[in-house]
């Protein structure tokens, strides 16, 4: 019989197989985070697919794994895989950016195994125990009951502890080595990342107060701390990928932080429209939500400018492809799909319908999934020994191209299907029927809604196919490649053309 020590040894051995001698300590740890992130990404899609099937055939897995459980695992897996991706990305560049070894790599390793163990236990409890009586024992051990952050309280404490270890490693390593614009912004952001999560760790019997603080975690994590974290990751990636100059990417990182403070933080108001908060939130939420797309429009100008200056010369075509997908996905998902239903005059009808789900699918994919995937390709390149990932790959790069097509097509298809369902729901259930119980069922049984949910399932299958192909590609890309990568070195100070060097 397998004992715990043997199991622990086997797990360590499995992750140890991911190590490569030419990676630094932080990068070896990062690869483990990326591996778990990909597993959780597939889990997210699998449980999303089960939930989508249940919309079409409500009896499917009834009383075994209900829709509420599938949806919870689907969304929690998404949040956690993205966090794993972000943490891995930061560990990946930490030693290079600071110019020194990570101060607490051992603690980082322990935190990784603790977090991964906790995630496994939480998911098993979600699936096997599912619910409990409405008391403290349930809140501490089974499910906290708050949408999107259902993890029981013990896991909450674990997440904050792991975040603090992560913060210690980042701040301590930069303090020991050298600071830069990227590292300064990143360190301050991690304080907010760990701190804001605690806003969701207390409970109030007043549902308005409870929701008020809960949104601090949901909105401010996603539209403030994650945005800045992605900005830091993107800044570093662009230096490696297209040889962008440090001074330029850092300037734009500061601009992004300023724009985020200008619109993203008070954009929080659009979640306060209907939870019992005062009327002034209509104005604050409406005004700052209307400003939130401005940074995205600004991004369009910057992309055109950079495309003109750098002509898309890059060291890693799949990563660049995913960064371009990020630009479009973020603009459409967060900008267009967000603004269409954010003002209170229309949000009155759309709030909490499939319209929100449509916006959520495209914006999370466009803003965060794409960046993580781009970084996975950067990591895969170095993991294979910094091999060639330019335009003429051995198999013509069909796997990365098709996985990108399938994933983008799948997500866009789901988004449009959910948009149709959301429009119908807002119109019939909310506007015509006045949000009555009868109106809810009238909307759910309307042919447009039913057909839209069927199409959502079809495009969900397309998305899963794309993710499976992506996994295959990440495991095989660069294997057997003998050519070394073209490296466009970012330069500290102003110099002439980006230096073209051959990797050693």
Partner 1 sequence: MIRPVELHDFLLSFFASASIIVSGACYALLFAWARLAGRRAVLAWAYAAYALLAASVWLLAETAHFEGYWRVLTGAMLAGYFVAPRAVFRLCSATHAAEHDEQTRSAISRPSQENPP
Q: Is 351 in the site for partner 1 (CB under 8 A)?
A: no
Ramachandran angles phi, psi of 435, nearest 5° = 55, 35
* Element containing residue 317 per DSSP (H, E): helix 317-330
Q: How far apart are CB 195 and partner 1 at their closest, in Å?
A: 31
| Beta carbon nearer to partner 1, 56 or 495 | 495
| Beta carbon nearer to partner 1, 68 or 251 | 251
Ramachandran angles phi, psi of 105, nearest 5° = -60, -40
CB 118 within 8 A of CB 191: no
Compute the distance between CA of residue 379 and CA of residue 22 in angstroms, rounded to an integer. 12
Q: Is 247 in the site for partner 1 (CB under 8 A)?
A: yes
| Beta carbon nearer to partner 1, 56 or 297 | 297
Q: Is 335 in the site for partner 1 (CB under 8 A)?
A: yes
Residues paired with 316 in a beta bridge = 389
Q: Using CB under 8 A, which residues numbered 418 to 477 contact partner 1? A: 423, 426-427, 431-432
**Torsion-angle region of residue 143: left (phi > 0), alpha (psi -120 to 50) or beta?**
beta
Binding mask 106-135 for partner 1 (x = CB under 8 A): ------------------------------
Compute the distance between CA of residue 294 and CA of residue 475 in angstroms, rounded to an integer. 38
Compute the distance between CA of residue 361 and CA of residue 366 in angstroms, rounded to an integer. 8
Stretch that binds partner 1, among 52-60, 74-82, 222-230, 488-496 (CB under 8 A): 488-496
Q: Is 258 in the site for partner 1 (CB under 8 A)?
A: no
Q: DSSP per residue over 209-238, as a string?
A: HHHHHHHHHHHHIIIIIHHHHHHHHHHHHH
CB 405 within 8 A of CB 321: no
| Beta carbon nearer to partner 1, 89 or 426 | 426
| Beta carbon nearer to partner 1, 49 or 248 | 248
* Element containing residue 487 per DSSP (H, E): strand 486-489
SS3 at position 150? coil
Stretch that binds partner 1, among 88-96, 306-314, 388-396, 450-458 (CB under 8 A): 306-314
| Beta carbon nearer to partner 1, 18 or 343 | 343
Length of the chain: 504
Q: Is 294 in the site for partner 1 (CB under 8 A)?
A: yes
Return the residue of 113, 339, 440, 448 that touches partner 1, per CB under 8 A: 339
Q: Where are the alpha helices (DSSP H) in 331-436?
A: 337-339, 344-350, 354-364, 370-383, 398-424
CB 439 within 8 A of CB 372: no
Stretch that binds partner 1, among 73-81, 182-190, 275-283, 364-372 (CB under 8 A): 275-283
Q: Is 264 in the site for partner 1 (CB under 8 A)?
A: no
Return the residue of 207, 309, 405, 454 that touches partner 1, per CB under 8 A: 309
Using CB under 8 A as the criterion, which residues of the chain lie in contact with partner 1 when the complex forms? 245, 247-248, 251-252, 255, 279, 282-283, 286-287, 290-291, 293-294, 296-298, 300-302, 304-306, 308-309, 331, 335-336, 339-346, 348-349, 423, 426-427, 431-432, 494-497
């Amino acid at each position: 019989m397998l004992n715990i020590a043997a199991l622990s040894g086997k797990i360590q051995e499995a992750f140890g197989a991911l190590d490569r001698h030419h990676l630094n300590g932080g990068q070896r740890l990062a690869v483990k985070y990326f591996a778990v992130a990909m597993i959780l990404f597939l889990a997210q899609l699998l449980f999303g697919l089960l939930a989508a099937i249940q919309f079409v055939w409500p009896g499917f897995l009834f009383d075994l794994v209900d829709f509420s459980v599938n949806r919870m695992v689907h969304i929690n897996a998404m949040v956690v895989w993205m966090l794993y991706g972000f943490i891995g990305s930061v560990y990946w560049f930490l030693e290079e950016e600071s110019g020194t070894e990570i101060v607490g790599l051992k603690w980082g390793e322990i935190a990784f195994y603790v977090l991964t163990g906790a995630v496994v236990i939480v998911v098993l409890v979600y699936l096997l125990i599912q619910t409990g009586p409405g008391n403290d024992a349930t809140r501490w051990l089974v499910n906290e009951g708050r949408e999107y952050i259902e993890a029981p309280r013990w896991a909450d404490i674990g997440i904050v502890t792991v975040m603090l270890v992560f913060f210690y490693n980042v701040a301590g390593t930069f303090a020991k080595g050298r600071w830069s614009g990227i590292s300064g912004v990143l360190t301050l952001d991690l304080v907010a990342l760990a701190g804001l999560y605690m806003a969701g760790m207390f409970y109030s019997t007043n549902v308005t107060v409870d929701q008020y603080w809960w949104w601090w975690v949901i909105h401010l994590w996603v539209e403030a701390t994650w945005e800045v974290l992605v900005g830091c990751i993107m800044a570093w990636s662009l230096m490696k990928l297209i040889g962008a100059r440090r001074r330029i990417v850092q300037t734009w990182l500061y601009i992004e932080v300023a724009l985020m403070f200008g619109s993203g933080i008070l954009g929080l108001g659009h979640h306060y429209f209907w939870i019992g908060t005062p009327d002034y939130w209509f104005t604050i939420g409406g005004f700052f939500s209307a400003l939130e797309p401005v940074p995205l429009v600004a991004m369009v100008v910057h992309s055109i400018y950079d495309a003109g200056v750098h002509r898309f010369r890059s060291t890693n075509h799949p990563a660049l492809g995913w960064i371009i997908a990020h630009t479009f996905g973020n603009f459409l998902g967060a900008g267009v799909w967000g603004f269409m239903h954010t003002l209170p005059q229309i949000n009155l009808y759309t709030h909490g319908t499939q319209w929100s789900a449509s916006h959520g699918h495209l914006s999370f994919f466009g803003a965060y999934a794409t960046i993580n995937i781009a970084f996975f390709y950067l990591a895969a390149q170095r993991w294979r020994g910094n091999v060639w990932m330019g335009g003429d790959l051995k198999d013509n790069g069909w796997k990365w191209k098709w996985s990108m097509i399938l994933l983008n097509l799948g997500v866009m298809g789901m988004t449009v299907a959910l948009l149709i369902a959301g429009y119908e729901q807002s119109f019939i259930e909310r506007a015509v029927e006045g949000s009555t119980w009868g109106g809810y069922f009238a909307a759910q049984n309307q042919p447009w809604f039913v057909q839209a949910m069927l199409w959502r399932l079809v495009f969900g299958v397309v998305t899963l196919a794309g993710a499976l192909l992506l996994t295959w590609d990440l495991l095989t890309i660069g294997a057997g490649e003998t050519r070394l990568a073209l490296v466009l070195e970012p330069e500290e100070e102003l110099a002439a053309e980006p230096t073209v060097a051959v990797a050693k």
